[in-house]
Chains A and B, each alone.
Chain A
Amino acid sequence: MDRNKENEERRDGQLHTEAPASGEKLLEVKDLRVSFFTPAGEVKAVGGISYELNYGEVMGIVGESGSGKSQEAYSIIGLLQSPGKVVGGSIHFEGRDVLAFNKDQMTQFRGSEVAMIFQNPMTCLNPVYTVGNQLVEALKAHDKKISKADAEKRAMEMLELVGINNVEKRMKQYPHEFSGGMRQRVMIAMGLICHPKLLIADEPTTALDVTIQAQILELMKDLQKKTQMGIIFITHNLGVVAEICDKVSVMYAGKIVEQGKVDDIFYRTGHPYTMGLLRSMPRVDAESHERLIPIEGTPVDMLNPPEGCPFAPRCEHCMKICLQKMPPYVELGEGHRAACWLRVQDELKKQREEGAQNG
């Protein structure tokens, strides 16, 4: 017991050493555009999104499937698969231009500075290699000098850190001998083994049982506090966002329709789509007669994105202008903005009233 505690402290120390102070800018994404060039035409999966992430911050990216949230994350880590391509914008990581990296720099960058964990832990581990092998390999990819024994020791420490017992035995087992939750823990251990500064988690809890979900979220929160790394948390579950994130970007049809701090999003919602998401989310504190309201309709065809607001056809507040022009962002508070004509209308009203008062 004592030894365990000692270990933990030592590990914590180790993890802390590389993490700079919280609050400094870690990642800056500007007007990022990603397109897929399919035989049928160009699909604009990500249509110009921007955000910033600081050390120690957890940002959620929320949106339904096909909204481009995963593709956006893949372009940060250089995993975008053909026919996908970054067609515009910039990504700066600690001031360095990620999009300008050459192949070797990108390979080195992946895993060591930014790690990614994926949705389905069942298929993300290679079935024909032991868990230990795959962990050690991640370490060795970025530290050529590390000895096998040291690497294995680190791997075992990492497994213990993510709450796996009996690590000696577990190291020698194959992925199919692990349960889903355990595999996701292994994935997290694998992501964190090189102490990345940024962790991208692509729906890491979606494929898991609800109880396991809570455990994994707890674990990630815990690790995040210890390491001060930034996390981009991709999900379609606002409940998860409330649990873990500091700020949120809501994506719809390849665009960020609203972004802000968690409280802003939940309590000062600026966009009807966010509102729809909130209403379709079950809540413990809901009144008994309150119903879950689904968002009607299906997303627009990304192959021919219409002019105007992509959410318009599904929006209950849809106005004529919505069908003609994409709304601009309206500042709703510090760091809270939304792209919706309703907010523009509010803003105009305010301005005109002010104008009337002044004039």
Chain B
Amino acid sequence: MANRKKKPVIGSLQPDVDSMLDWNTLTNDDFAPASSEEKADFIQQRKSVSYWSDAWRRLRKNVVAMVALGVIVLLILFAFVGPMLVPYGYEQRNLGAENLYPHHYTLEEQEQYRQATSTLDPQEAVEQARAEAEAKGEKLTSREEALIRAKAKTGGEYAGMSEEEVYAALGIHSHPFGYSNEELERIANGEKVFPHVFGTDKLGRDIMVRTMYGTRVSMTIGLAAAFIVLIIGSLYGSISGYFGGKVDVVMQRIVDVIYSVPEVLVILLISTSMSPHITQFISDHQGNALAEFMRTIGPNLIAMFIAFGLLYWVSLSRIIRGQILQLKQQEYVTAARALGASGGRIIRRHLLPNCIGQIVVTTCLQIPSAIFLESFMSYLGVGVSAPLTSLGSMCRDALSGFTTYTYRLIIPAVIISVMILAFNLFGDGLRDALDPRLKK
């Protein structure tokens, strides 16, 4: 095509003189029959792309999903590697470092602040001193007067300003990370002190470490829940679909019942009724490894896992059951059976390729919904129990003082949202990549 000099006027029904002239250059050889090898060479077939590499290619192109994946990786590092780098424990109370903001002023700056705010009018200072002296006598009323007068003048030009405003007026900017004064002194003495990046809470516990542990709890629960759901959902769905008939009817009625009851209620109920049993079990089996493990994760969390195992597999089981029912009717499965293929082989060769995408996506989207639920429960105080912490319970603790210590509410709230968002976006991207309907 490219070497043709003149395009014939397609569409015109007139004989094309130019191209006819061209024809004269053709030799008899051109009209020799082509061999089958030449024909085979001619077909430039697109190289066939496997399902996974195709899906991966599409996923990689999805910027949002890849960014989400990056965020997930960062959060995993934050949650699992982070606590190793920070020299504080999540239960460790750093004395003298209570209620630190995630920023600090150096000792000199604090001195400046004190001077600025305590600077009194000299006249007033004298008056105050006199009043104090008089107070050693008896004149109570005059002392009160003097005190009031003194109070009114206190702070001079900075009266009625908040701490930050005073600092701002002094032209002092805060420095990132929180340090207690004691720690600042240690730094001044040349010691190295790890900062409280997110500040500390009212017990002096480092908030960053607590967020790390909270994130770890959330991540673990999300992944574990997804795993539980995957196992139970696949089993239930395959059994229901494979046996069909009455078994299927009964099993699907059970699913209907579970589907129509709000899961939060069930979890509340289970954790309420189970936790005394679990507590009992733990105290009865002191020293037992299982009991110790259960003690660490706490009865509420176990109840939550039980609830996941009981309730959350419903949608996955429906997908798998639907696929199996569909497959059972298909002729190639009958053919495979007739050829003596085993059940396992049929599942591997036919069932999985058909619904693996859906299974992966459903399982993946299970993670954020489990994290969501865990934080919800912990927020209500029926999730993760102390001493273990969770982002939800941190938010709950921070609520009472949110006007003063806003950061304590913001930090865990943002992290939990970012985490769920990242999983949701990644799950969406995965769905787009794996959905065969979008395949072109």
Contacts and interface: CB of A to CB of B under 8 A. Distances in A.
Q: Do chains A and B touch in the complex (CB under 8 A)?
A: yes
Interface of A: 30-31, 38-40, 48-51, 300-301, 303-304, 306-308, 312-313, 317-326, 328-329, 331, 335, 337, 341, 344-345, 347-348, 351
A48 B20 CA distance: 20
Nearest to B39: A313
Contacts of B39: 312-313, 318, 323
B192 interface: no
A49 B10 CA distance: 8
Nearest to A300: B43
B34 A319 contact: yes
Tell me the dominant secondary structure on chain B's binding face: loop
Contacts of A320: 29-34, 38
A313 B42 contact: yes
Nearest to B34: A318
Interface residues of B, number: 33
A301 B42 CA distance: 11
A135 B138 CA distance: 103
A306 B10 contact: no
Nearest to B12: A50
A329 B23 contact: no
Interface stretch (B1-9, B74-82, B314-322, B408-416): B1-9
Contacts, number: 85
- Per CB-CB distance, the 6 closest pairs between chain A and chain B, nearest first, are A50-B11, A321-B30, A328-B19, A318-B34, A30-B11, A313-B39
Contacts of A329: 8, 10, 16
B241 to A, nearest CB: 27
B23 A347 contact: yes
A307 B2 contact: yes
A152 to B, nearest CB: 39
A48 B46 CA distance: 23
B13 A325 contact: no
Interface of B: 1-4, 8, 10-11, 13-16, 19-20, 23-24, 26, 29-34, 38-40, 42-46, 58, 61, 440
A297 to B, nearest CB: 9
A318 B34 CA distance: 6
A345 B440 contact: no
Given A40-B440, A313-B39, A325-B4, A301 B44 contact: yes
Contact of A319 (B19, B33, B46): B33
Contacts of A325: 1, 3-4
Contacts of B42: 306, 308, 312-313, 323
Given A325-B4, A328-B8, A329-B16, A306 B43 contact: yes
Contact of B23 (A304, A319, A344): A344
A323 B13 contact: no
A351 to B, nearest CB: 8
Contact of B31 (A30, A337, A345): A345
A261 B72 CA distance: 65
B356 to A, nearest CB: 22
Contacts of B3: 325
Given A312-B34, A318-B39, A39 B61 contact: yes
8 contacts: A30-B11, A39-B61, A48-B10, A50-B11, A301-B44, A318-B33, A319-B32, A341-B31
A337 B13 contact: yes
B2 A323 contact: no
B13 A335 contact: yes
B193 to A, nearest CB: 53
A251 to B, nearest CB: 13
A34 to B, nearest CB: 15
A253 B42 CA distance: 15
A321 B46 contact: no
A173 B61 CA distance: 47
